[in-house]
Amino acid sequence: MTPYSHSQSTIQLICILISLSLSLRKQVAYALELPLHWRMHRLHTRWFIEAYQRDATMNPLLLELAKLDFNMVQGIYKRELSEASRWWTDIIGLSKRLPFFRDRLVENYLWTVGWAFEPQFSSYREIQTKANCFVTMIDDVYDVYGTLDELELFTDAVDR
C-alpha cells in the first residue's frame, strides 16, 4: 500500500459522508483531509472550538473553559516567542552581522510547538528552538556562504 492510497475505512467514510448530519459531516471531512494524528494539536484546536460552538448539544461552560485554555496557551506561546525573538536579535544578533542567514525563528519555534505543545514543556521549546536556529544557521553556511575549502575546514572543526 502506498502512502497515498486510501484504507478501507477511509473509503467507507467517504461513501457515507453524504448521509451524516452536517456537524458530523464537517468533522469527518476535516479528519479525512489530513489525519488528526498528523496535525499540530494546538494549531487545529481553534477549529474544534468553533465546531463545538455550533453543536446543538454544546455545554456553554465547557466551551468557555476550552476558549480560556486556548487563549491562555496562546499567551504562553506569544511570551515564549517574544523571548526567543529577543534572544535571536539582541543577544545572538548573527542575522544582522551575517545577512546570508535565513531568519526562520518563527518557523523553528512552530516546529517545537508541534513536538511539545503542552504548556509545561516551555523549557523544552526554548532549548529546541535555539538548537533549530543553530542548525538552520549551519545549514546556511553550507548552502549559501562557504567555499568548498572553507566548508572542509569548518566540518573538521565541528568533528573535533
Quote the mean pLDDT of the chain.
89
**What is the rounded distance in angstroms from the CA atom of residue 154 to the CA atom of residue 160?**
10
142 in a domain, yes or no? yes
**pLDDT tens for residues 77-88?**
999 999 999 999
Q: pLDDT at position 56, please? A: 87
33 and 94, same domain (yes or no): no
Per-residue confidence (pLDDT) for residue 37, from 0 to 100: 81
Q: Residue 61 domain-assigned?
A: no
pLDDT digits (tens, 9 = 90+) for 122-150: 999 999 999 999 898 888 888 887 888 98
Residue type, 58: M
- C-alpha separations of 53 from 43, 47, 62, 66 in Å: 17, 10, 10, 10
| Residue 51 falls inside a structural domain | no
At residue 60, the 3 state secondary structure works out as: helix
Question: Is the alpha carbon torsion for 129, 132, 138, 142 positive or negative?
Answer: negative
- 53 in a structural domain: no
Q: What is the pLDDT of residue 103?
A: 83
Q: Which spans in 58-143 are helix H? A: 60-86, 94-97, 105-115, 122-140
Global pTM exceeds 0.75: yes
Task: Give yes or no for a contact between 92 and 46, defined as CB atoms under 8 angstroms apart.
Answer: no
Which residues contact residue 146 at a Cβ distance below 8 angstroms, ignoring those fewer than 6 apart? 154
pLDDT in tens, 93-131: 877 787 778 888 999 999 999 999 999 999 999 999 999
The model's pLDDT over 12-46, given as tens digits with 9 standing for 90+, comes to 889 898 899 888 898 899 888 888 788 888 878 99
DSSP codes joined into one string, 73-94: HHHHHHHHHHHHHHIIIIII-H
Instruction: Count structural domains, the chain.
Output: 2
In a domain, 123, yes or no: yes
Please check whether residues 99 and 153 belong to one and the same domain.
yes
In a domain, 113, yes or no: yes
Residue 120's domain spans which residues? Answer: 74-159
Q: What is the pLDDT of residue 1?
A: 43
Residue 58 lies in a domain: no
The span from the CA of 60 to the CA of 65, in Å, is: 9
Residues 17 and 87 in one domain: no
- For residues 128 and 83, membership in a common domain is answered with yes
Question: Does residue 147 lie in a domain region?
Answer: yes
Note whether 97 and 22 are same-domain residues: no
* In a shared domain, residues 34 and 78: no
> Which is more confident, 44 or 73?
73
153 in the same domain as 93: yes
28 and 99 both lie in a single domain: no
Residue 84 shares a structural domain with residue 31:
no
